[in-house]
Chain A
Amino acid sequence: MSNIVLAQAAESAANINPGLAAIGYGVGAIGPGVGVGLIWAAVINGTARQPEAQGQLMGIAWISFVLVEVLALIGLVIYFIASAA
């Protein structure tokens, strides 16, 4: 009897796994989204204070954007693996 219950529990856990993975990806995408917003907010502030540094600030912002975006893509890959398991 206990074996049957455990098997059912394992099956239900496997069924909710893709949903949990999708929720985890959604939560994980929030951080990079906030990061991207903060990066460009800093660029807007910096350009307003020092317009001659716009080129430098934009370069720094784009490379930071790339790195922050990688975090979101790593979350996507983990969702992909976890939802397939």
Chain B
Amino acid sequence: MSGATEVTDESSRRAESNPHAAAVRKLADAMLRTAVWPAVVTVLVSAVVGAFWVGTQGLVGALIGGAVASASSLLTLWLMRATADSHPMFVMVAALGGYIGKMVVLFVVVTLLRVFTAVHVPAVAITILATVLVWAFAEVYAFRKTKIPTIALANDS
């Protein structure tokens, strides 16, 4: 138990003392702050359009599509924060693992969604597409607006 606490303390201390990790976390926070509200608006607009377009099926489809797309984008941001303090080689493993896991899970989810008649397939698809694109554009905007310094550490010669 105390060992786990020591590990947590050690990792948090390393995170605080690593300016590279702080820069990545700052970027992740900026991306989340910039993207979350446009994504919520997109999902709501899609839900309203879906409800008017095909009724309850469209509404449910748009909400499910928005949830799937938002979860996908949030997973990337979580991965970014979780691996901020890691070596780039491990980050590559985590990013590729996250990509594969996400693709497999989304493939299973959208394949299963076709079985349910309670959702309108085009509403789900268009909402996923719109939400993912809005997340991506907002994240690029946040990236352009966030200043990341070049850091020369004291122990780097």
Contacts and interface: CB of A to CB of B under 8 A. Distances in A.
A joins B in a complex: yes
A74 interface: yes
B153 A65 contact: no
Contacts of B76: 62, 65-66, 69
A10 B132 CA distance: 34
Contacts of B19: 55
B24 A55 contact: yes
B128 A44 contact: no
B140 A73 contact: no
Nearest to A46: B88
B7 interface: no
Interface in A45-85: 47, 51-59, 61-63, 65-67, 69-70, 72-74, 76-77, 79-81, 83-84
A73 B114 contact: no
B48 interface: no
User: Size band of the A side of the interface?
Assistant: 35 or more
Interface stretch (B36-44, B52-60, B90-98): B90-98
Nearest to A75: B103
Contacts of B100: 33
A32 B100 CA distance: 10
A44 B86 CA distance: 12
Contact of B91 (A25, A52, A58, A69): A58
A51 B156 contact: yes
A13 interface: no
Contact of A81 (B23, B88, B125, B152): B125
B95 A36 contact: yes
A36 B17 CA distance: 28
Given A33-B99, A43-B92, 6 more contacts: A44-B92, A55-B22, A63-B31, A63-B140, A80-B121, A80-B125
18 contacts: A32-B99, A37-B96, A40-B92, A43-B91, A56-B23, A56-B148, A58-B84, A61-B91, A62-B27, A62-B76, A66-B73, A73-B132, A74-B129, A76-B107, A79-B110, A80-B114, A80-B125, A83-B114
